[in-house]
Amino acid sequence: MTLTRTASTFAPPVMEARRWLEGVEFTADRPLINVSQAAPVDPPPLVLRQAMAEFAINEDSAHLYGPVLGNDDLRSELAREISEHYAAAITADQVAITSGCNQAFSAVISAITDQEDEVILPTPWYFNHKMWLDMAGVRAVDLPTGDDLLPDPDKARSLITDKTRAIALVTPNNPGGVEYPAELVLAFYDLAREAGIRLLVDETYRDFDSRNGPPHALFQQPGWEDTLVHLYSFSKAYRLTGHRVGAVASSVSLLAEMEKFLDTVAICPGQIGQFAAHWGMQNLTQWLAGERAEILDRRAAISEGMPRLESKGWRLLGLGAYFAYLEHPFAMPSDEVARRLVSEAGILLLPGTMFMPDHDPAGKRQVRIAFANLDRRGIEQLFDRLQALTF
């Protein structure tokens, strides 16, 4: 029997990891430390929830269909914010709103690829990107990165064929955390433009980038919309994960093709989530700055604590936004390490094997820690348990 496209890809990694918790008991003096998922566990701030509740009660439109590509006010506000953030000029008709950033990626891939086309993904990759390519019948071509987790444009050039339709980057990176230098992102843009393919840049975690000013100059390039596809999510910035609000910026013609996909999947983004994203951009600038400062402080706590783990043979490969990506010191593959950590250390994290193709042995030596939901005390406890391991 021929495998279906869904059968040809792997199970959702976060859901798979949660199943490792079945039958394991955690005590009050050693509760579970869950660093498996890169999503806020707290709800939106109260003032935003109150505004959302009033909108849901008082506005009939909160419960109706809206435009497939998103509400005009949110598209306009996001275009303004992108223009300001990247020191460029973006118009509302170059922006679309989607039901989460994963849907934005899926819609773009559906609009630019045919069966058996190819998309280049640096590894370690964001697993949902790989999963969608599998299910779309598109071949994911892995681009291995070095110890710095930064992809090489020259290596990418050697992978481009007449089937290549795009290169997909994630910065700040998931799972690696690294922030791609502006010069590197521009080099990939130039490569994509030269090859006549798209450059997808997923910037879901841009609000927690440690750098000030525009993280790259892609929006400043003449005719940027013919090459660049910018992906974004409101989920992390305003804790709207359950409301599924993402976005894409690119050419008007590409958005028109994406509209066909979006109309057949969700018809339109949810109204309450769109309202929340718009209200957040207009009212929560200082609150978001505080969220960013807290994430950067937790990132600093990881850096400060790493010498303890390095003395035990661990290596920090990447750090930033929500993630620390480490090489473990044990003589067993990372998926086995991850499973044993649940029962023996009360830690749930994801192994590097979930971010790598099977033929690349590097994933067996790596793990991802999503630290955004741990404060400094929680990070200290995490490091205490990792340091004490005797596998």
Per-residue pLDDT reduced to its tens digit, 260-290: 999 999 999 999 999 999 999 999 999 999 9
Mean pLDDT of all residues belonging to the chain: 95
Q: What is the DSSP letter of 29?
A: T
Percent of the chain with pLDDT over 70: 100
Q: How far is CA 121 from CA 97, 133, 188, 371, in A?
A: 24, 10, 12, 24
Q: Dmax of the chain from CA atoms?
A: 60
> Is residue 23 scored above 90 in pLDDT?
no
- Where residue 114 falls among pLDDT bands split at 50, 70, 90? very high
> Is residue 10 scored above 90 in pLDDT?
no
At 145, the amino acid letter reads: T
Instruction: Provide the pLDDT for residue 386.
Output: 96
Could you tell me if 178 and 320 are in contact, meaning their C-beta atoms sit under 8 angstroms apart? yes
Tokens standing for 237? 């910035």
> Is residue 1 scored above 80 in pLDDT?
no
Q: Kindly give the interhelix angle for 72-85 and 271-283, rounded to the nearest 10 degrees.
A: 40
Q: Across-strand partners of 170?
A: 202
* CA gap 255, 62 in Å, rounded: 24
Nearest in space to 75 (alpha carbons), one of 241, 259, 289, 284: 259
Instruction: Provide the pLDDT for residue 4.
Output: 87
Buried b (16+ CB within 10 A) or exposed e, 60-89: eebeeebbbbbbeebbebbbebbeebbeee
> Is residue 158 scored above 90 in pLDDT?
yes
Instruction: Provide the pLDDT for residue 71.
Output: 97
User: H or E segment at 370?
Assistant: strand 366-370
Query: Integer distance in angstroms from the first to the last C-alpha of the chain?
Result: 41
Instruction: Provide the pLDDT for residue 89.
Output: 95
pLDDT digits (tens, 9 = 90+) for 162-209: 999 999 999 999 999 999 999 999 999 999 999 999 999 999 999 999
The dihedral built from the CA positions of residue 206, 42, 325 and 316, taken in this order, carries a sign that is positive
Over residues 290-319, mean pLDDT: 96
59-283 carries CATH number 3.40.50.300: no
* Residue intervals in the chain for CATH 3.40.640.10: 59-283
Nearest in space to 234 (alpha carbons), one of 219, 244, 248: 244
Q: How far is CA 21 from CA 33, 323, 347, in A?
A: 12, 22, 10
Q: In the block, which residue shows the tokens 């004490």?
A: 388
* CA gap 293, 391 in Å, rounded: 36
Could you tell me if 336 and 364 are in contact, meaning their C-beta atoms sit under 8 angstroms apart? no
pTM of the model: 0.94
Could you tell me if 200 and 254 are in contact, meaning their C-beta atoms sit under 8 angstroms apart? no
CA 337 to chain centre: 24
The dihedral built from the CA positions of residue 104, 146, 341 and 378, taken in this order, carries a sign that is negative
User: Do β-strands 246-249 and 95-98 pair in parallel, antiparallel, or remain unpaired?
Assistant: antiparallel
Instruction: Provide the pLDDT for residue 171.
Output: 97
Could you tell me if 38 and 27 are in contact, meaning their C-beta atoms sit under 8 angstroms apart? no
Instruction: Provide the pLDDT for residue 14.
Output: 84
Could you tell me if 283 and 141 are in contact, meaning their C-beta atoms sit under 8 angstroms apart? no
Protein fold of 13-43+287-387: Aspartate Aminotransferase, domain 1 (3.90.1150)
Q: In the block, which residue shows the tokens 């495998």?
A: 3
pLDDT digits (tens, 9 = 90+) for 51-89: 999 999 999 999 999 999 999 999 999 999 999 999 999
Instruction: Provide the pLDDT for residue 6.
Output: 87
> Is residue 303 scored above 90 in pLDDT?
yes
> Is residue 9 scored above 90 in pLDDT?
no
> Is residue 2 scored above 80 in pLDDT?
no
Residue 199 buriedness (CB in 10 A; 0-12 / 13-18 / 19+): buried
- Angle among Cα 28, 43, 169 to the nearest 5 degrees reads 100
* Residue intervals in the chain for CATH 3.90.1150.10: 13-43+287-387
